[in-house]
Structure 1
Amino acid sequence: MRPVRFVALGDSLTEGIGDRTGDGWRGWAALLAGSLGEQPVRFTNLARSGAQTHDVLEDQLPGALALRPDLVSVVVGVNDTLRQGFDIHAVAGRLDQVYAACAARGAVLLTACLPDPGGTMGLPGALARPLARRQRAVNTVVHALSDRYGAVHLHASDGDWVADRTMWSADRMHPGERGHRQLAVRFHALLAERGLAPGPAPSPEPESAAPTLTASLWWLATAGTGWVARRCTDLLPQLLALAADDLRHRARGTSVRLDLRTSAAVSAALAALTAGESPRLRGGTRQ
């Protein structure tokens, strides 16, 4: 029996940032790969920090398809929300192409919706709310396309794990080891329901301690400052304008208009996708 081929696509979350082992990163996908069954698993992680949906489509997908995968994870979209040129129409179109290409090759597709970055980083409400609307838009698209292509879909955008500080690394943007293990355990449970993960689930218990408050403050004072500075040249001017618009609507009691505007944009993006033959064989599985 040939090894199961598992290829992971996406950004820093799937690359494993926050779950350090030795001199590198491990992450939820590598943890999951070690628990897919007794037969050998050939795991390839093509995810890269900072990747957006266009990077997955243009750079990572061709390499993934060349490996003839049995299982492909596609978890991406947060970095799109952190860019000034965020366009849910473009995000939806790219994800549709990636999902369709994987499904057409007969690969089992893994997807997930994710928490909004403003909330996990603890940004002030006026700054966090516009980012939350963007992430909800991405999550709605991921939900719809996961159903369309029969993906194994993990609902990870909310729940106790998001607010549990022990699940997150010092940067408050990436899960720590415990958080990565939580994602691996939940993905394993979904695959096991389909008979695709006969091996034992990954352990949910971390091998290293969660970052201390001192470590988190040190990150913010060092690496975190550089991260914010890099984003400020792109996102911050627009984010401040979005925050001002949010505050104006809240003062007038018309915040619902912003939510309706986002919902309308998502509906239009999904409606614009080509309605060609879908390789979907069955509905997506969620947890």
Structure 2
Amino acid sequence: MGGTATSGGAAPSGGAARAPVRFAALGDSLTEGVGDPVPGGRRGWAALLAEGLGGAERDVEFRNLAVAGAQSADVHELQAWAAADFRPDIASVVVGVNDTLRSSFDIRRIAARLDEVFALLTGGGAVILTACLPDPGTALGLPGPLRRPLVRRQRAVNAVVHALSARYDTVHLHVSDRSWTEDRSLWSVDRLHPGERGHRRLAAGFHRLLAERGIALGDRPGHEPRQPPPTRAAGLLWLATEGTGWLARRSTDLLPQLLGLAAAEVGHRARGTSRQLDARAEQALAEALADLPRTPFLRGFVPHARMEG
């Protein structure tokens, strides 16, 4: 889990400083900073963005609550409460890719969880940052039968995020287009997380949108990386060390199901009925959106750990 950092400038002489702006970042490895190593740990887009929020007249209190491997349930049951206790002015909620990589994927549950997280944080006065993301199958360059099920899942997650972004008037960044998946300079050696250039692009994109609302007062994060891009040798080293373990951990859960989904893809394509799979995904998404309450509410959002406290 990330830590807490404070950045900003001193107040002008003769004037009182503004109250510090509080920024909480929720999510998974993308927000934790995987792919953007710095001496002593990881940085990532959220930390880069925090540096540009304050300007000369106010400090920034930044808390990175994101954890590698987190799913929507982790954000819903743990991170959101920690963020609410922090009482942020800005809270980023970028999660969902790990949900698409699990056999337990359920778009209705994901939608309900995110709705309640957004209700909790906006109810405390926070401006929410959201993003739609590329699907992991395309990012990893998987073959069609393996890629298409993940494409459907990520599209469903993105559609839910779009709907909730409109509902809660979030600051929403589009990063699911082909310019992201096709530009290899944006990605780290694992092909699933942004590299430094990608993290900087995310930070700059959010900063631009926040500046348009008069929220980001500092300088926009620079686009150009300070460190050289990873070499092919670095990619091979990652695969031989961390990469093998990464694939093994996911294979115990995702791979058996993904192979089944791929077999269904091949069978439907051979029969000319691939549209049925699309229709099922669209129906599940429609039901997920229809299940959302007409007005934001917090009923039911009481994890056991919270109750015991």
* TM-score over 0.5 for the pair: yes
Matched-pair contact (CA < 8 Å) for 2:21–2:54: no
Pick aligned residue for 1:126 from 127, 135, 145? 145
Alignment correspondent of 2:33: 16
Q: CA deviation at 1:232?
A: 1.1
Q: How does 1:1-287 map to 2 (within 5 A)?
A: 1-38=18-55, 39-277=58-296
- 2:46 is paired with a residue whose SS is helix
Distance 1:125 1:213 in 2: 25
Q: CA deviation at 1:277?
A: 4.8
TM-score normalised by structure 2 residue count: 0.88
Alignment correspondent of 1:283: none
Distance 1:245 1:213 in 2: 35
Unaligned runs of 5+ in 2: 1-17, 298-309
Question: Which amino acid in 2 is paired with 1:95?
Answer: L
Q: CA deviation at 1:125?
A: 1.4
Distance 1:182 1:95 in 2: 25
Question: Which amino acid in 1 is paired with 2:219?
Answer: P
Q: CA deviation at 1:263?
A: 1.1
Question: Which amino acid in 1 is paired with 2:243?
Answer: G
Question: Which amino acid in 2 is paired with 1:156?
Answer: V
Question: Which amino acid in 1 is paired with 2:35?
Answer: G
Q: CA deviation at 1:221?
A: 2.5
Distance 1:159 1:229 in 2: 28
CA RMSD of superposed structures (Å)? 1.3
Q: CA deviation at 1:126?
A: 1.0
Between 1 and 2, higher relative CO (CA 8 Å, sep ≥ 6) is seen in 1
Q: CA deviation at 1:103?
A: 1.0
Q: CA deviation at 1:258?
A: 1.3
Q: CA deviation at 1:88?
A: 0.5
Distance 1:214 1:200 in 2: 35
Runs of 4+ in 1 over 3 A off after TM superposition: none
Question: Which amino acid in 2 is paired with 1:201?
Answer: R
Listed one character per residue, the Cα deviations across residues 229-283 of structure 1 (whole Å, up to 9, x for unaligned) are 11111111110000000111122222222112111101100101111258xxxxx
Listed one character per residue, the Cα deviations across residues 125-158 of structure 1 (whole Å, up to 9, x for unaligned) are 1111111111111010000011011101111111
Question: Which amino acid in 2 is paired with 1:47?
Answer: A
- 1:13 is paired with a residue whose SS is helix
Distance 2:240 2:149 in 1: 25
Alignment correspondent of 1:282: none
TM-score normalised by structure 1 residue count: 0.94
Distance 2:292 2:247 in 1: 34
Alignment correspondent of 2:13: none
Listed one character per residue, the Cα deviations across residues 54-75 of structure 1 (whole Å, up to 9, x for unaligned) are 1001111111011111000000
Choose 1 or 2 for highest CA Rg.
2
Unaligned runs of 5+ in 1: 279-287
Question: Which amino acid in 2 is paired with 1:147?
Answer: A
Distance 1:121 1:230 in 2: 16
- 1:30 is paired with a residue whose SS is helix
Q: CA deviation at 1:169?
A: 0.6
Question: Which amino acid in 2 is paired with 1:189?
Answer: R
